[in-house]
């Protein structure tokens, strides 16, 4: 189980006591203006999260996150979700921290909601499971069979990484989740369980500008400034790993996943990028993610 909290800090008032009354009135005025300017979905709120081992009660939440990744792909997401839950000694779900007062309230459903999942499934170990056959077929199609040699070599132990969460949750939560996953993989290996991986595959979500003007092409060549990462921490993973495939999912996405754009806004195409990394690269990747998010 991963035990950690992450909090979006709120600004504190550092004024002298003699100015408190005046600044309190100013603050109230500012809040009224902000309330008028901000919509319901634009306000920043403070939330504590914690990692927990996945269990049966998390089935629908995890499956929803799987759909967020695979969209309309022909994959049995229920079967995939069951595999994640069955190996509950590996990986963590992200949930809102529960205080004693909150746990006694009537709004228990929101507290049990799954906000994210970080886990790994051994594609080699479960190669005869129907949903894993579908996943491997999907990966082969999207990489134009670049993974064929890797899959065909029985000495390879290939893990499919899941790094999914709700949009707008800060990327900093990924650090303790990924660190905990690595620790659990090591413990499972020592216990003789099938988690001695040689490679990992990550399906990353991003949005790429559809602008075709010279300035946009120049940005793309210089370093991908026209790319928006859904999970920011996956950018350094992409830089270290091998990119085996990238494809648009515009025809499969809905507004909740891909976002909506005004006519005058720059248009973005929702995509998936398939990244291959070796197990030896994982410690370096964790270091790079920490540096990237500092």
R_g over Cα of the chain: 21
46 occurs within a structural domain: no
Residues 56-112: tens digit of each pLDDT:
999 999 999 999 999 999 999 999 999 999 999 999 999 987 665 555 554 555 667
Crossing angle of helices 77-86 and 59-70, rounded to 10°: 130
203 occurs within a structural domain: yes
Residue with tokens 């203006």: 33
Lowest mean pLDDT across 6-20, 76-90, 202-216, 271-285: 6-20
Whole-angstrom distance, CA of residue 69 vs CA of residue 76: 13
The model carries a pTM of 0.78
Q: Determine phi and psi for 84, rounding to 5 degrees.
A: -60, -40
Is the confidence at residue 206, as pLDDT, over 80?
yes
Question: Domain of 182?
Answer: 119-253+266-293
128 occurs within a structural domain: yes
162 occurs within a structural domain: yes
CB-CB contact of 133 with 126 (8 Å): no
Query: Which of helix, strand or coil describes residue 5?
Result: coil
Number of alpha helices (DSSP H) and beta strands (DSSP E) in the chain: 12, 8
44 occurs within a structural domain: no
Q: What is the pLDDT of residue 193?
A: 95
35 occurs within a structural domain: no
59 occurs within a structural domain: no
Residues 223-280: tens digit of each pLDDT:
456 899 999 999 999 999 999 999 999 999 754 444 444 545 558 899 999 999 999 9
Q: What is the pLDDT of residue 112?
A: 78
User: How many structural domains is the chain composed of?
Assistant: 1
Lowest mean pLDDT across 8-17, 62-71, 194-203, 255-264: 8-17
Angle CA(67)–CA(73)–CA(76) in degrees, nearest 5?
Answer: 70
User: How much is the average pLDDT of 109-122?
Assistant: 87
91 occurs within a structural domain: no
User: How much is the average pLDDT of 12-24?
Assistant: 47
Confidence of residue 29 (pLDDT cuts 50, 70, 90): low
Whole-angstrom distance, CA of residue 96 vs CA of residue 88: 19
């Amino acid at each position: 189980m991963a035990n950690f909290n992450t909090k979006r800090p709120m600004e504190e008032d550092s004024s002298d006591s003699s100015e408190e009354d005046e600044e309190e009135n100013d603050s109230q005025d500012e809040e009224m203006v902000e309330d008028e300017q901000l919509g319901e979905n634009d306000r920043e709120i403070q939330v504590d999260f914690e990692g927990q081992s996945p269990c049966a009660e998390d089935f629908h939440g995890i499956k929803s996150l799987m759909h967020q990744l695979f969209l309309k792909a022909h994959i049995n997401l229920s079967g995939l979700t069951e595999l994640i839950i069955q190996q509950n000694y590996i990986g963590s779900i992200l949930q809102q921290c529960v205080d004693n007062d909150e746990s006694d309230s009537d709004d228990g459903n929101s507290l049990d909601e799954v906000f994210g999942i970080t886990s790994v499934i051994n594609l080699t170990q479960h190669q005869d499971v129907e949903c894993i056959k579908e996943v491997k077929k999907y990966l082969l199609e999207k990489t134009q069979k670049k993974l064929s040699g890797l899959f065909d070599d029985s000495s390879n132990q290939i893990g499919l990484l899941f790094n999914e969460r709700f949009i707008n949750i800060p990327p900093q939560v990924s650090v303790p989740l990924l660190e905990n996953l690595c620790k659990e993989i090591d413990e499972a290996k020592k216990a003789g369980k099938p988690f001695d991986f040689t490679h990992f595959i990550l399906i990353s979500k991003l949005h790429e500008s559809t602008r075709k003007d010279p300035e946009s092409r120049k940005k793309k060549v210089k370093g991908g400034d026209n790319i928006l990462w859904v999970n920011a921490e996956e950018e350094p993973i992409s830089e270290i790993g091998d990119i085996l495939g990238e494809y648009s999912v515009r025809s499969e996405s809905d507004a909740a996943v891909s976002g909506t754009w005004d006519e005058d806004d720059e248009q973005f195409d929702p995509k998936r990028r398939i990244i291959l990394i070796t197990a030896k690269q994982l410690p370096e990747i964790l270091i790079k993610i920490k540096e990237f998010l500092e």
